[in-house]
Amino acid sequence: MKKGVISFIPLSLLAIIMGLILIVSNIIISTVVSVEAASKIIRNRLYPYSDLVSF
């Protein structure tokens, strides 16, 4: 049986890659738009239902 590519990647390496993607996207978004708008975009990506819950 053939497995997917992601199943061969260790979870720790996958977590590091996802963290790097998040950091790079945060830097790109914050340079394009204001810091307040960037933090709102990032927060909505991380917590899509954050409007329903106050932090």
Confidence band, pLDDT 50/70/90 cuts, at residue 51 = low
Q: How far apart are CA 49 and CA 43, in angstroms?
A: 10
Tens digit of each residue's pLDDT (9 = 90 or more) over 9-39: 788 888 899 889 988 887 887 777 777 777 7
Taking every pair of Cα atoms in the chain, the longest distance, rounded to a whole number of angstroms, is 49
- The residue with greater pLDDT, 19 or 43, is 19
Q: Can you list the alpha helix ranges (DSSP code H) found in 1-55?
A: 11-32, 35-46
pLDDT of residue 5: 64
Torsion of CA 25, 26, 27, 33, to 10 degrees: 100
